[in-house]
Amino acid sequence: MLTNNISLNECKILVTGAAGFIGSNLVKLLLRDYPDAQIIGVDNMNDYYDVSLKEERLEEIRSLYTYKRFSLIRGSIADRELIDLLFKNHKPDVVVNLAAQAGVRYSITNPDAYIESNLIGFYNILEACRHYPVKHLVYASSSSVYGSNKKVPYSTDDKVDNPVSLYAATKKSNELLAHAYSKLYDIPSTGLRFFTVYGPAGRPDMAYFGFTNKLVKGEKIKIFNFGNCKRDFTFVDDIVEGVRRVMLHAPEKHKGEDGLPVPPYAVYNIGNSSPENLLDFVTILQEELLRAEVLPHDYDFDSHKELVPMQPGDVPVTYADTSALERDFGFRPSTSLRDGLRQFAEWYAQRYK
C-alpha cells in the first residue's frame, strides 16, 4: 500500500460539482471526518435535472454541519475569471474536480454543454492549478472511456483510444490534458474512472431512478439491448470512500533521466467488480420498490417492460478491474446491488410518497 503524503484535516479543499450527486456526498464525508478542514464548493446549479434535488443536497449539508466550514460559490468552472479569482482568494491545497456535464445519450443531442464544461471547464481548473500550485488534483473520469473494448474486466492498462460517445471522448481528453499538465508543470494529478454510480438522491437521468419514475407513473420502461447488458453498479458511499483514500496520496514528484519531471500522474478504476445483468437489476429494483411500498404489491411488472435494441453511444458491458486501487489503497467497493437499491428505494419512498 502507498503511504499517505497529504493530511486533509487542516487542508483547504476545493470540490467542484459540490451540489451534484457524488460531490455532495464527498463534502459530507470530508466535513464529518476532517473537523479542521475548510471545504470550498463550486456548482453552476444547471437544470440538466431537477434543481430542487441539488438544493436539497445542499440543505442536508447545512443541517448536518452548518456552513461554518463549507462555502458554496454558485458559478461555472467554464468561467475563467471566476476560477482564477477563486484560486487566488482561497489557494486550495487539494482540488477534487467533479463538475462535468454527464450522460452518454445527452451528449448526442447537446454536445455544446460537454465542450463547455468538460473541456473548457477542466482546462480552466488545470490552468489555475498551474498558477496557484496545489498538492493534489483529483478528477472524475468515467468507465465510458473504455468504449466497446472486448477485453473484460477493464484495466487502466488497456488502450482507450476508441470512444463511442462525445461524453467518453471528453473524459479521455481530461486524462490526456491532466497528463500533459503533470508533465509540464509537475502538478500531481489522479484520475478516477467511475463505474455507474447509484444511490439515494442520485441523478434522475440514471436508469434505476428513471425506471422508478416511469413505474410509479404506470409507464413502460425500456430495457436496452433486449436485456443483454451488464453494468458494474457502484454505490455512492463506496465511490466517495475511494475518492477520500486517493486524495490522501498524491503521485510522487521526481526527475527522469533527462532532468525533466516524470509526470506525477495516476489513473484508477472505482467499480464494484461485479457486473449485473440488466434484467436481474430490474428484478432486484422492483423487489425493493415493493418492499419500500413505493409500488403496490399487486403491480404487474411484465406489462410495464419493453425490450428494445441498443442505443447509440451505449456499450454492452462495463466491468472494473480494481486491482490497482486495492494494491495502492487497500480498498475495493463492496456494497451489494440489493443493499444499495434498498437504500435508494427507502429514500425514494420518503421523498416522493
| Total count of residues recorded for the chain | 353
Euclidean distance between CA atoms 42 and 54, whole angstroms: 12
Please confirm, yes or no, whether 167 is among the known catalytic residues. yes
pLDDT of residue 66: 63
Per-residue pLDDT 10s for the chain (353 aa) are 999 999 999 899 999 999 999 999 999 999 999 999 999 999 999 999 999 999 999 999 998 876 678 999 999 999 999 999 999 999 999 999 999 999 888 998 999 999 999 999 999 999 999 999 999 999 999 999 998 888 889 999 999 999 999 999 999 999 999 999 999 999 999 999 999 999 999 999 999 999 999 999 999 998 887 777 888 999 999 999 999 999 999 999 888 888 877 899 999 999 999 899 888 999 999 999 999 999 999 999 888 888 888 777 667 778 899 999 999 999 999 999 999 999 999 999 999 87
pLDDT of residue 259: 80
pLDDT of residue 261: 74
Rg of the chain, C-alpha, whole Å: 20
**Residue from 274, 243, 270, 269 nearest 337 by CA:** 274
Of 114, 123, 167, 198, which one is the catalytic site residue?
167
Instruction: Name residues whose C-beta falls within 8 Å of residue 96's C-beta, 6 or more positions apart in sequence.
Output: 13, 14, 15, 16, 23, 26, 138, 139, 243, 247
**Residue from 172, 107, 141 nearest 239 by CA:** 141
pLDDT of residue 169: 96
